[in-house]
Amino acid sequence: MKSKKTAEEVARYADMLAAMGTEARLRIMQLLLYAHPEGLVVGDIQSELEIPNSTLSHHLEKLKNEDLVKVRREGTFLWYTANCEALQELLGFLFAECCKRNRALDPEAIISCCK
């Protein structure tokens, strides 16, 4: 059995959830997951979600700071991708106890929703 998460780890997960806690950032994450693994350039995210460039930059920076998105430069373009490893870790934290202690959810139900 894994040990309980430290206060530092819980604070990190809380920050990650807070970063996704706006409609715009949640929509960005959905879009990047849809475009995974290639990702999207900023202009495509902007046109798809109709978010002003300065606002979009702020949202992407917040998601990047919390390690929820990765960015790579190719020439003059910035490509953003969802950090699936960080999201998987976050979901693992959220579902760890529900599937062990009180069986609130069947682990197979969690797996099947992702297929």
- State the Cα–Cα distance between residues 75 and 77, nearest whole angstrom: 6
Residue-wise pLDDT for 77-92, tens only, equals 999 999 999 999 998 8
Kindly indicate whether the domain formed by 7-113 is annotated with CATH number 3.30.420.40. Answer: no
**Quick one: pLDDT at residue 102?**
62
**pLDDT for the residue numbered 36:** 93
- Distance in angstroms (rounded) separating the CA atoms of residues 115 and 100: 22
Rounded to 5 degrees, φ, ψ at 55 are: -70, -40
Segments of the chain assigned E as strands: 40-41, 69-74, 77-82
Q: What mean pLDDT is reported for the chain?
A: 86
Predicted TM-score (pTM) of the model is: 0.81
pLDDT band at 98 (very low <50, low <70, confident <90, very high): low
Rg (CA), the chain: 16
Task: Map out the domains of the chain as residue ranges.
Answer: 7-113
